[in-house]
Amino acid sequence: MKVVETKGLKVGILAYGEAQFGAILHEYDDSGGFAWINHPRVNDYIVIARKKVDLLIIQVHAGVEEIDLPLPEWRDRYRQLIHLGADAVIGHHPHVRQGWELYQGKPVVYSLGNFILDPFHKRGVDSTGFLVELTYDGGVFSSIQFYPVVQKNGIVEIDQQNNAELEIERLSGLLSPSEEYENSVNHMSVKLWQSIYKEYYKQAAGAMYGKKFLRSLARITRNLLSSQARIRNDLLLLHNIRIESHRWCVERALSILINEKYH
């Protein structure tokens, strides 16, 4: 935990990520890596850390990329962090801005978007995000302010073209009411399965399918001849199965589709 003392206040900062490559997933892993948010020891550590500081802020690098809604599983987990002692939870990773809410009087921000992005990044994601300013006074957050930022020519600056209040109001409005939010997440998950995950898993597994038979056959042949290609596919498959966001999204989509098909 990083502890910063300012004006007589001890502020603790913890940073975690979901189970991507590099996460410490095992109790006695001595190979190094970053802290996994769902490691069995994390909850106890947060409780202990909270007793050592006046204010505890937790950052989490997690979430499905390029969608403006957090998965309910992450929403539940972030709220659990508040129960464990966090005074604020700040999320990032989806590459786009998402909404925020007050939970038990404490801010939970689901994604700040991008602050700075590799200029050679080829995915076409937006180089914009939010800065969030939390004002803590008298044991409560008296002010929560968002500032839109944009990266131009490698320099991050305030985005004068973006109305942060309207944007954050729109994004936060997507989180409620709960039935609409759940329906939106379900629709989004099915769409992601059909447009991305389904083909991805088939490719990673080296399957032949549909109208892309010749391309599939060429890929299978390449995999058979190249051990590096096989290893790369296996690693990518493991990567997506291990990461909570992808696994939860696929499980949700398949559960919905199976239920619709057989009931």
Rounded average pLDDT over 48-75: 96
Tell me: pLDDT of 208 over 50.
no
Q: Choose between 29 and 25: higher pLDDT.
A: 25
User: Which of 128, 103, 104 is CA-nearest to residue 117?
Assistant: 128
Q: Which long-range contacts (CB under 8 A, 24 or more apart) does 1-8 make?
A: 1/49, 1/52, 1/53, 3/52, 3/53
* Global confidence as pTM: 0.87
Within 10 A of 236 (CB to CB), how many other CB atoms are there?
14
CA distance linking residue 169 with residue 192, whole number of Å: 25
Tell me: pLDDT of 88 over 50.
yes
Upstream peptide bond of 177 is cis (omega within 30 degrees of 0):
yes
Per the CB < 8 A criterion, the answer to whether 127 and 150 are in contact is yes
Tokens of 243: 């990461």
Rounded average pLDDT over 6-28: 90
Rounded average pLDDT over 250-254: 96
Cβ density class 114-147: b for 16+ within 10 Å, e for less: beebeeeeeeeeebbbbebebebeeeebeeeebe
Poorest-confidence range of 8-22, 124-138, 242-256? 124-138
CA distance linking residue 20 with residue 34, whole number of Å: 9
